[in-house]
Structure 1
């Protein structure tokens, strides 16, 4: 089974040279599209493999796949975007099916129980750079 970087690379390999340049330009304009941009200097002479490495390094596996789909849609490669989206969801389903769960996790994600001390102070983990595709509930007792 292919992994996320290979799936992204397969999609980028389908692009013509001018389309690939447009893809890279979209990465430099990320703020307007909801993600951190990658500098033009890093992308200027980057080949497909370099772009995949930069994206995975900057965004992580899951987000790199999501951003690739979004950019492919922006440059009017909807069929390629749909194909990648389907293949990425297959990888995520397979990965969750093979993982083991602990009491603090479930197949839908992570469950974290947080309690206040006697002074009503709460120390909790910080979540950053995350995308939530399911409801997030906070309850205070």
Structure 2
């Protein structure tokens, strides 16, 4: 099961008030050094869009870790433990962390970018902070 599906499934089990509280926690610093998600990005977000926004903002492993942390704060310990077990069963590890970076300059990120003849590469801009790693292999 994909991480986005695991997150969305965890959020589907929340009642409306708990889901709104979950999104509220995401607008604050939720894990050491991680940037909060802007309120406007979550204002009318569905559970699916919320999980997508978390993965976009933090990467898969950190999105799972943050989801578990926030579920515990709500509190919904059962959902947090269920997500941890489901993610571990996929071979994932939630040891990811955010690292704060200097506001004046983006962090140096080593990268390798290759494309075959006739390919189009759309590469993201990464700035502000870096979280986890990103590997894209499409062969």
TM-score norm. by structure 1 comes to 0.64
What secondary structure does 2:75 align onto? coil
Would the aligned equivalents of 2:42 and 2:50 in 1 still touch at CA under 8 Å? yes
Equivalent residue for 1:9?
8
Equivalent residue for 1:61?
60
User: Which runs of no fewer than 5 residues in structure 2 stay unpaired?
Assistant: 94-108, 112-129, 134-139
Alignment of 1:89-100 (within 5 A): 89-92=88-91
Equivalent residue for 1:73?
72
Equivalent residue for 2:100?
none
Aligned partners of 2:14 and 2:56: how far apart in 1? Answer: 22
How far off is 1:129 after superposition?
1.9
How far off is 1:130 after superposition?
3.1
**Rg larger in 1 or in 2?**
1
How far off is 1:85 after superposition?
0.4
Kindly report structure 1 stretches of 4+ aligned residues shifted beyond 6 Å. none
TM-score norm. by structure 2 comes to 0.65
Bigger share in helix: 1
Where relative contact order (Cα < 8 A, 6+ residues apart) is larger, the structure is: 2
